[in-house]
Amino acid sequence: MRHKLDRADSLNPSRARPLRIAPTSPPAAKNKGDNMEFMPLKGIRVLDFSHVIAGPFASHYLAQMGADVLKVENVNGGDVMRRNAKGPRSYLAFNAGKKHLALDITSEEGRKRVLDEVARADILLDNLKPGTLEKNGFGPDDLSKINPRLIYCAISGFGREGTWSKRLAYDHVVQAATGMMLMAGGEGDPPIKTGFPVIDTATGIIGALAIVSALHERERTGRGTFLDVSMTGAAMQLMYPFACEAMTTGESPSRVGNQGYSGSPAADLFSTADGRIALGVNTPKQFLALLGVLGMLDAAENPDFFEMPIDASAPASFLRSRDPAALKAALAERISAWSGEQLERELMEVQVPAAQVQRIGEFAEQALRQGGLARVRLEEGEDYVHSPGLGFRTRQL
């Protein structure tokens, strides 16, 4: 696919053409879980002034659910993702199924085209530099006079209210600002960035949820809504239980490395003979199952670890130990002699959550092979990218 932007596109709607979406398997064998037949937003028109990741990911969801998305890009090269170092696949992944339009919104022709599109649109999505559209007369209050049913979704780094409203952001900047970098790792470690744009993608998902909710609300009221979606707000949603604790007590949680949320000494990362394995042993019942596999059942009655012997029939609770460090060390010594694959397999058989640490490519290959992941092919011409879909599956009831 040639990702060309042509100034003539601003005057010729026929030049704005969509990327084609096709499943990887023949229609008769297609898995409905890939959402290809799930089109609840068919007929909804979206005017998309977004770029990079957060905004395009929000409109990606809308497009994949059937909305007619017109992505407006500047005439000087368009979305920077077109020239991403990873090549056209990143741009294609976020923007498949959308029509693309190069437009100079400061020109007379460009302004007229925007206003014409607004009059017919259901949704306007904006994650340009805060104030860019308002400066050109395309703010929510201006456009609501033209189309009272318009849903205007503004995505920004720090929100459109308060003294930070003009502050610019990227994913790693927001990870630093919100404390996320000091959630990973252990006490004393330097700040650690999550290795993928987690806040960008979460912001896009929240934006799509807000838009779909506003569409439902419009059915009741007949009026549009202004939606203020921020990357900092998305970050707080991702850290929700810790954010609630911090907002309630004013205190920040300690860094716990790879330990699970429960705080159980058996819910952590352990070294095996050939790698590492994450265990999700949170309850006494799961702990006894783990001890059975490891041949350590006597540890359940060891007074050095527990005040009272572990009882699997007791009400469900998180596992607690008198000496968590010593218990973890004892488990680590035994686990270090196991192969990761064998331990993972045996723990799965006794219903103990466990997974070897692996790369995303390894997981994707395994998940596709065993049916836990559906693959959707997004393509046009010779360019294509395989997508994991929308993260959920559907079937008609």
**Looking at the predicted structure, is the pLDDT value of residue 340 above 70?**
yes
Residue 395 Cα distances to 37, 67, 133, 166, 375, angstroms: 9, 20, 40, 43, 16
pLDDT tens, position by position, 267-292: 999 999 999 999 999 998 999 999 99
Residue 353: predicted pLDDT: 95
DSSP letter at 256 equals B
| pLDDT band, very low/low/confident/very high, at 203 (cuts 50, 70, 90) | very high
Asked whether the beta carbons of 139 and 43 are under 8 A apart, the reply is: no
Mean predicted lDDT score pLDDT of the chain: 86
DSSP letter at 156 equals E
Residues labelled as active-site residues: 200
Residue 85: predicted pLDDT: 61
CA-angle at 275, arms to 274 and 277, nearest 5°: 125
What is the percent of the chain with per-residue pLDDT over 90, rounded to a whole number? Answer: 62
CA distance 262 to 318: 6
Asked whether the beta carbons of 251 and 245 are under 8 A apart, the reply is: yes
Residue 70: predicted pLDDT: 96
pLDDT tens, position by position, 142-180: 999 999 999 999 999 999 999 999 999 999 999 999 999
Query: DSSP characters for 198-210?
Result: HHHHHHHHHHHHH
Minimal CA–CA distance to 91: which of 73, 104, 67?
Answer: 73
Provide mean pLDDT across the span 293-316: 85
Residue 86: predicted pLDDT: 65
**Looking at the predicted structure, is the pLDDT value of residue 265 above 60?**
yes
355 or 78, higher pLDDT: 355
Provide mean pLDDT across the span 175-201: 93
Residue 13: predicted pLDDT: 36
Residue whose tokens read 């959920």: 392
Asked whether the beta carbons of 186 and 158 are under 8 A apart, the reply is: no
CA distance 231 to 52: 13
Residue 34: predicted pLDDT: 52
pLDDT tens, position by position, 6-37: 333 333 333 444 433 333 322 222 233 455 57
CA distance 376 to 58: 18
* Cα end-to-end distance, the chain, whole Å: 38
**Looking at the predicted structure, is the pLDDT value of residue 249 above 80?**
yes
- Within the chain, where are the H helices? 54-64, 88-95, 108-120, 132-135, 140-146, 171-178, 198-221, 231-238, 240-249, 284-294, 324-335, 340-349, 360-370
- Within 181-318, where are the H helices? 198-221, 231-238, 240-249, 284-294
**Looking at the predicted structure, is the pLDDT value of residue 396 above 60?**
yes
Lowest mean pLDDT across 23-32, 209-218, 228-237, 263-272:
23-32
Residue 380: predicted pLDDT: 65
| pLDDT band, very low/low/confident/very high, at 87 (cuts 50, 70, 90) | low
3-class DSSP state of 340? helix
pLDDT tens, position by position, 88-130: 788 888 888 899 989 999 999 999 999 999 999 999 999 999 9
CA 336 to chain centre: 34
Provide mean pLDDT across the span 362-371: 89
CA distance 386 to 96: 11
* pTM of the entire predicted model: 0.85
| pLDDT band, very low/low/confident/very high, at 134 (cuts 50, 70, 90) | very high
Residue 308: predicted pLDDT: 83
**Looking at the predicted structure, is the pLDDT value of residue 40 above 70?**
yes
**Looking at the predicted structure, is the pLDDT value of residue 3 above 50?**
no
Residues 6+ apart with CB under 8 A from 302: none
CA distance 98 to 95: 6
CA atoms within 13 A on the CB side of 395: 4
Minimal CA–CA distance to 95: which of 61, 137, 46?
Answer: 61
Query: DSSP characters for 360-394?
Result: HHHHHHHHHHHTSS--EEEEETTEEEEE-TTS---
Provide mean pLDDT across the span 53-66: 94
Minimal CA–CA distance to 58: which of 224, 219, 227?
Answer: 227
* Range 189-192, long-range pairs (CB < 8 A, 24+ positions): 189/255
Q: Nearest 5°: phi and psi at 123? A: -140, 140
Residue 381: predicted pLDDT: 64
Neighbour-count burial for 234-271, b at 16+ CB within 10 Å, e otherwise: bbbebbeebbeeeeeeeeeeeeeeebbebebbbbbebe
